[in-house]
Amino acid sequence: MATTITAVDLSVSITETYSLNNIQYGNTSTKSFGDNSKVEQRIMEIPTKGGGEGTSWTGILDLDTADSAGHIIKADFKYFRVTNLDDTENFNLRLYNGVDYLILSILPSASFVLMDASVDATTTDIGVTFADITKIQGQSDSASAGVEIEFVAVTV
């Protein structure tokens, strides 16, 4: 038995179009990720934050040691992008690396991209200890309205 999947390259381009005072600014940044054979892409609903940012986080994707429901292999990570599909409400994104949390505000129609899973966070001025993200979670910033998001995750 052998897989019939042929690993292919993922190409990601970020293009900024901006002309100010008759001068073009911005650029196109392209990164190619070679030999990928797995993908998860999904549009899902993320409920409200309920009582506040400290509660009601919804799991979006776990990075683990084996593929299973909602889990991808952390060591095979190549690329992740999440987009807030709501036109009004902000989406709070939480990254967890087994020790530390980072929470970012994602505006309506805005995206956040990860090209590497190594992160660290601190509230004090100490050295950096990178660890791979293990959980990606989210919540609507609204106490009453959920949001829909789209994410795509590509692994080797």
Q: Which of 73, 112, 148, 156 binds other proteins (CB under 8 A)?
A: 112
Sign of the dihedral through C-alpha 76, 77, 79, 81: positive
Supply the minimum distance, in Å, between the C-beta of residue 25 and other proteins. Answer: 5
Select the residue interacting with other proteins from 44, 115, 143, 145 (CB under 8 A). 115
Between CA 122 and CA 107 the distance in angstroms is 24
Q: How far is the CB of 101 from other proteins (least distance, A)?
A: 4
Burial status of residue 112 (CB atoms within 10 A of its CB: 0-12, 13-18, 19 or more): middle
154 closest CA partner among 100, 76, 56: 76
Closest CA to 94 of 149, 53, 40, 148: 53
Segment 58-97, which members bind other proteins (CB under 8 A)? 79, 81, 83, 90, 96
> In the complex, which residues of this chain contact other proteins (CB under 8 A)?
4-6, 8-21, 25-27, 29, 31, 36-39, 41, 52-54, 79, 81, 83, 90, 96, 99-107, 109-113, 115-116, 118-125, 128, 130, 150, 152, 154
